[in-house]
Amino acid sequence: MIPYDWKSQLGETMKIATLGIVLKDGNILLGEKKKGEIGTGVLSGPGGKLEPGETLEECLIRETREELEIELDPASLEQVSVIDFYAAGEIDFRVHIYRAEVLSGDLHETADMIPAWYPLDDATFNRTFESDRHWLPRAAHGEKFRANVYYLDRARNFDRIEFLPFIG
């Protein structure tokens, strides 16, 4: 894989990140975030910011290892979405979302997250970021799309989401 060249597409100020949707027996693996730039206390999939020279897939595997101490199966990674997150009218993050399977490891609390398997239902999604309630169920069920998500402030005061065709 070739490292992702985001600067040529988007400029140097926007951040690039990944997020994993890990499914097993009709449940989704989410972690309650214990720390981070945004979202402490909410449920989220594993993932995080891309490092220089890293591919998107390498980022997701590294972040999952750091946050949950489990290994994702690289052969299972399937990109299902790309979402641009806007805060106060400015693009803030581009997140590449992958469905994935666990290769090895057991769930346990880490310094970053309290992981658990959750049912794919409204009660689970009500504990995620407000925008995630709109797109996460679609991506978990394998729908491919692009989206623009608008918040009035960074990851707070959700405004709207626009679904667009997936270009993969």
Q: Give the pLDDT score at 13.
A: 66
Q: Give the pLDDT score at 8.
A: 45
Give me the residue spans of the domains in the chain. 26-161
Quick: pLDDT tens for 104-138: 999 989 998 999 999 999 899 999 999 999 999 99
Position 29, amino acid: L
Reported pTM: 0.89
- Closest by CA to 148, choosing from 23, 48, 14, is 14
CATH topology of domain 26-161: Nucleoside Triphosphate Pyrophosphohydrolase (3.90.79)
What percent of the chain lies above the pLDDT cut of 70? 91
| DSSP reduced 3-state for 59 | helix
Quick: pLDDT tens for 39-71: 788 999 999 999 999 999 999 999 999 999 999
How far apart, in whole angstroms, are the C-alpha atoms of residue 120 and residue 152? 28
